[in-house]
Amino acid sequence: MHLVFFLVLPLATGAGAARRYGCTTRSSPFFDSRANFSDSIACSAVGAARAERFGQAGGSVARRLSHSECVGVHGCMDPKAFNYDSSATCHENICVDKRQGCMNSTALNYNPEANVHCPTAIVLEGCPCEPVLEGCMSPQALNYNSNANRQGVPCDFGRRGCTDTASPDYDSNAEIDDGSCTEHVPGCKDARAPNFMWNATVDDGSCEEFIWGCTDSAAENYNSSATVDNGSCD
């Protein structure tokens, strides 16, 4: 008689346990209580759908979707990524973040790092695209353009000087006032008049009548009323 022995081995749960990859995040709607190895991709709707499609056999969803041994269409499987590939069945770590900005290379705010064009009629940081308007951007120039956003033409500063026609410093050729105009000082500008004002800039007609005569008090013919010496002193 032959005896037949059946060896029943317990299910390994330690270091030699068979790996079952899945979502181990309890707060995730895709949490898998049977999983004993974490698989971050399985915690997403995309990963869960792929897991259901391909099953758990053969190891991790991440391995089946991310590693080189995955057989299928390789690509970025993150729906939020710029280069998301809806046909991909094997995830590759090549996802690129979306960067919204102005992609018009002729615009003032062109962003060479943007890969998503500014939405129409929506104002966001860096959007919408701003057209370039070249002009003189110096407020002191004759051809200053307040609407210009790029210095594109030479600024014309013209001739600077006093442009106040009432000032004694008036320069008829000046195109831009440089603040050099001085105020008028009215007074008598006739040096022979007894009330002559050396600092007068405008004669106001106030000069008093001058009297010719000898103004030397030591002379015999000194004239105390004389205001202008006529060289007649003895």
Separation CA 201–CA 183 (nearest Å): 9
Helix, strand, coil % (nearest 5) of the chain?
A: 10, 20, 75
Q: 112, 102, 106, 104: which is closest to 132 by C-alpha? A: 106
pLDDT at residue number 51:
54
8 A C-beta contact, residue 234 and residue 219 = yes
What is the pLDDT at residue 2? 45
**Residues 63/37, Cβ–Cβ less than 8 Å:** no
> What is the spatial distance between Cα 160 and Cα 222, in angstroms, rounded to a whole number?
54
CA–CA separation, 27 and 19 (whole Å): 22
Query: How far apart (Å, rounded) are the C-alpha atoms in residues 64 and 57?
Result: 10
Query: Which residue is associated with the tokens 């959007």?
Result: 127
What is the SS3 assignment for 74? strand
Whether the CB-CB separation of 91 and 65 falls below 8 Å is answered with: yes
Please give the Cα distance from 179 to 162 (Å, whole number). 7
Rounded distance, CA 155 to CA 161, Å? 18
pLDDT of 135 reads 93
- Rounded distance, CA 181 to CA 177, Å? 8
Structure tokens that stand for 18 in this block: 């068979």
Which 3 state secondary structure label does DSSP give 46? helix
Per-residue pLDDT of the chain (234 residues; tens, 9 = 90+): 444 333 333 334 444 445 566 778 887 767 778 877 666 666 765 565 555 444 443 344 444 444 455 777 888 888 888 888 888 888 777 888 888 888 888 888 889 988 888 776 556 667 888 889 899 999 988 889 999 989 988 898 888 889 888 888 888 888 888 888 888 888 999 888 888 888 888 888 888 887 888 888 888 888 888 878 888 888
CA distances from 34 to 8, 19, 63, 181, 221 (A): 22, 10, 17, 92, 138
Preceding peptide of 128 cis, ω within 30°: yes
Give the pLDDT confidence score for residue 145 in this predicted structure.
92
